[in-house]
Amino acid sequence: MAGAQTITNPGVVYTSVSDYRTGMDDAGGELPLGQVVFTFIADEAIQKGHVVRLANASQTSPPTVGVAEAGTDAAQTVIGVARNAAAAAGDLVEVVVLGFALAQGDGSVTAGSWVTYDANGRVASETVDASDVVGTLVGRALADDGSQGSLVPVWVMRV
């Protein structure tokens, strides 16, 4: 499709084309639609696309988040995918807890696969069976990730 096209639905005007595989519109902006996002304080450096976990959920201080690590963090503490990077502890990080997110892949992700997280906070394909623990799945991959660390579109829906 050449150029931008305006499509009008009752009450909504679309003026750009989106590509769910890249998470960008035709102007290079990130797709903000279809997300539930909360802002947290980072307890460590977090890269855009890392799977994150609650690090501190105390009722007496603001909640903090860190990079989720499979085999270390309890599955129920994993809450979503970082929408932006936090350079250091104390920086603010937006976390997609439901909906479309760009997550860092581990190099094994294929379109349509269920994804969980690895020891480095990246999404990894998961074969789902009766042995899976509730809370370990992050969501569904919408495209292949290509290589380790590349961003892959994921529908976050904690299962």
Mark whether 48 and 67 lie in a shared domain.
Answer: yes
Alpha-carbon distance values, 51 to 68, 73, 116, 123 (Å): 6, 12, 9, 7
Identify the CATH number of the domain in which residue 152 sits. 2.40.300
As for how many domains the chain has, the answer is 2
Question: pLDDT at position 8, please?
Answer: 47
Note the pLDDT of residue 6. Answer: 46
Amino acid 134: pLDDT: 55
Question: Residue 139 has what pLDDT?
Answer: 82
Residues 2 and 79 in one domain: no
Answer yes or no: do 13 and 86 share one domain: no
> What per-residue confidence (pLDDT) applies to 87?
96
Q: Do 69 and 97 share a structural domain?
A: yes
In DSSP terms, 140 is beta-bridged to: 114, 155
Q: Are residue 26 and residue 38 in the same domain, yes or no?
A: no
How many alpha carbons fall within 13 Å on the CB side of residue 2?
0
121 and 91 both lie in a single domain: yes
In a shared domain, residues 50 and 121: yes
Residues 19 and 47 in one domain: no
Distances (CA, A) of 65 to 4, 27, 95, 132: 39, 31, 9, 24
d(CA 13, CA 24): 18
Q: What is the mean pLDDT of each run of 10 residues along the chain (159 residues)?
A: 48 52 66 78 95 81 89 82 94 91 90 89 82 66 80 78
At residue 24, the pLDDT reads 66
Q: Is 75 helix (H, G, I), strand (E, B) or coil?
A: helix
Q: 84 and 12, same structural domain?
A: no
Domain span at 134: 34-156
145 and 90, same domain (yes or no): yes
Same domain for 89 and 122, yes or no, is: yes
Q: pTM score, two decimals? A: 0.77
- Residue 33 has a pLDDT of 59
User: 45 and 27 in one domain?
Assistant: no
Determine the pLDDT at residue 70.
Answer: 87
